[in-house]
Amino acid sequence: MATLDIKNLHVYYGHIHALKGIDLHVEEGEIVTLIGSNGAGKTTTLRAISGLLRTPEDTSISHDGSELTQIRADQIVARGVVHVPEGRRVFSRMSVQENLTMGAYTRKNQQMVKDDLDYVLKLFPRLQERRAQKAGTLSGGEQQMLAIGRALMSSPKVLLLDEPSMGLAPVLVETIFDSIEQLNRTRGITILLVEQNAQMALQVANRAYVLETGRITMSGDAKAMLSDPKVIAAYLGL
């Protein structure tokens, strides 16, 4: 049984049929990437999974066998499906520390929260240095670290990452992708990674899906896709 199993996902924005029946699954411990050009529906897919968008009756999104489409976004976080949104969306008027505390909002065990905080601050030492600063004053890269760190404070089983490389300098993209791999390897966190930077995404992922205007057009082994002529022509810009 897949840890995240999406069947027949449709999303409508008014009259716009943004997702036209997507099937996608992520096995426990995998890194799966969803690539596609701007406007393909990647963000919409993640927002539907995390409960920020409503879906029709015949759509099914299940996590470890239980249905997510019937519960609210805040209940989905508590189940361990945690979404790092596009554009980071840190709370700019709160301090770095308060942002991290917000990540642990649903959690009860304060000792485990403290352990996770130590882990996050070790993973991203820059956050440790800027703990008392307002998040709005951080650079783009630091905000991305904070957004991921905040999600880790929610104790995720599945992490949904929406374009973590967006707007970052290449060296920072490396750092962020390294930490994503590390989270997957050392903490066993399952990852669904949405990217326009297909090159980077396919390198870290086990499997990949290609999304075009609301439909999955290709899926399979990530490394194989790196050498697929169609993928190279459309997404690797070589």
Partner 1 sequence: MFSNLRRKYDFTDYILWLIGATLLIAIIYGSFVTLSSGKYTTEQWLNFVIFGLAQGGIYALIALGYTMVYGILGMINFAHGEFFMFGTFGAFFVAEALASSGFLESNPLLSIIVMLMAAMIVSATVAVLSERIAYRPLRRAPRLVPLITAIGVSYFLQYTARGFFGSGVEAFPNVPALAGVVQLGPITMQRSQIAVFAATGILLFLLWFIVSKTKVGRAIRSVAEDKDAAALMGVNVDRTIALTFALGGIMAGAAGVMYGLVFRQVAFYMGFVPGLKAFTAAVLGGIGNLAGAVMGGLILGVIESVGPSLFLEGIGIPSPHQLKDGIAFTVLVLILIFRPSGILGERLSKRA
- The footprint of partner 1 on residues 178-207 (CB under 8 A) is none
- Alpha carbons 41 and 45: distance in angstroms, whole number: 6
Binding Mg ion by CB under 5 A: which of 3, 33, 43, 59?
43
Which parts of this chain interact with ligand ADP (CB under 6 A)?
13, 16, 18, 36, 38-44
> Given candidates 72, 185, 223, 230, which one binds partner 1 under the rule CB under 8 A?
72
Alpha-helical regions (H) of the chain: 42-49, 73-78, 96-103, 110-123, 125-129, 140-152, 170-187, 198-204, 222-226, 229-231
Candidate ranges 79-87, 139-147, 204-212, 219-227; the one touching Mg ion (CB under 5 A): 79-87
Tokens of 62: 């299940």
155 near Mg ion (CB under 5 A): no
Q: Is 52 in the site for partner 1 (CB under 8 A)?
A: yes
Among 9, 18, 36, 51, binds partner 1 (CB under 8 A): 51
Query: Given the rule CB under 8 A, which of 22-30, 45-53, 112-120, 125-133 is the region that contacts partner 1?
Result: 45-53
Pairing of strands 31-35, 207-212: parallel
Cross-strand partners of 119: none
CA distance 58 to 47: 17
Interaction partner, residue 51 (partner 1, ligand ADP, Mg ion, none; CB < 5-8 Å by kind): partner 1
Q: Does 232 bind partner 1 (CB under 8 A)?
A: no
Q: Which is nearer to ligand ADP, 43 or 179 (CB)?
A: 43
DSSP 32: E
Laid out side by side, the sheet with 207-212 consists of: 81-84, 158-162, 190-195, 31-35, 207-212, 215-221
Shortest distance, position 233 Cβ to Mg ion, whole Å: 22
Interface residues with Mg ion (CB under 5 A) are 43, 86
